[in-house]
Structure 1
């Protein structure tokens, strides 16, 4: 054990001999003397920033992008009492998976008994009659005319009531 202590003591002395504190202290004192003259420098003021110009919001008078444009299918909203008469168990038809805005009227087929509307959605033409359902919101065809069809939708108002929307899908001239 005494050999271990001697080796440890020799290593400790060698490491302490390598640390000469006088040199680093002299460097620190010279740095402090050189920088003492720079402590009284004035701080530059912040630059003046002008306010950005105010631009008024002017889109309030524009048309609602979520409703059909005039001439493409006008619609109107009214409070409906028909919500209690909805048949929740009625099986949904294929065309009730599309939004009404996706439908285009491309023609009519009429007989003495009934009129049928030809509506295109996703590139496929469908033959519909009065009373058929279409659209995601319980839409039902109310009337078919040569130039347009009228569809009524029942939409929940989120407060337990129903809103009825009347939508006209005009005949597309160039189909």
Structure 2
């Protein structure tokens, strides 16, 4: 009886392999039962069921050019306009240069080489009764007093408070005239 058990143990893996092959053949034959005709019929039905809706392209809008109504006026880029501005400056050159002439004659200060937008007020001090503003420019700290110059528009410090530096700048307007304007640097507090 011992021999029969050994035969069964040896035959069991072979039998399992045969059963597995038969099962795979059955599964594969079931998959192979559908043909290309079935697939084509299904695709045809799906295409017939789904109808895309395509909106028509609108007709192009006709371009209507605008008329240029200022042709009679002086061209802003013409030499005549520049000549008119220069004639105005030559008529009264003392008034035009009275503001800027003293600024051109004095020695430039270091903070005049930076635009005012690159500066920020980070604090203020009181040194011997005189207000001093602390100005940060590109990571460097400068002490500024009343009468110093800041920015690239001849900005003279007129007043320093705990929260603000008030400047008088001299700039050219659209006609080329030099005019004064007030600018200020406000205290910038760092957000933690």
TM-score, normalisation: structure 1 = 0.51
For residues 79-158 of structure 1, the aligned pairs below 5 Å read 83=99, 86-157=102-173
Q: 1:81–1:166: structure 2 CA closer, same or farther, 3 Å change rule?
A: farther
Structure 1: segments with no counterpart, 5+ residues = 1-46, 53-79
Structure 2: segments with no counterpart, 5+ residues = 1-56, 63-95
Residue 67 (structure 2) pairs with residue 51 (structure 1): no
1:139–1:154 Cα contact (<8 Å) kept: yes
Deviates more, 1:109-118 or 1:80-89: 80-89
The Cα shift of 1:105 comes to: 0.3
Q: 1:84–1:121: structure 2 CA closer, same or farther, 3 Å change rule?
A: closer
The Cα shift of 1:144 comes to: 0.4
In structure 2, distance between residues paired with 1:113 and 1:131: 15
Bigger helix share: 2
The Cα shift of 1:89 comes to: 2.0
* SS state at 1:88 partner: helix
CA RMSD, Structure 1 to Structure 2 (Å): 2.6
Paired residues, number: 102
Q: 1:108–1:163: structure 2 CA closer, same or farther, 3 Å change rule?
A: same
Q: Which contiguous aligned blocks of 4+ residues in structure 1 show a shift greater than 2 angstroms?
A: 84-87, 156-161
The Cα shift of 1:159 comes to: 4.0
2:180 corresponds in structure 1 to 164
Q: 1:113–1:48: structure 2 CA closer, same or farther, 3 Å change rule?
A: closer
TM-score, normalisation: structure 2 = 0.47
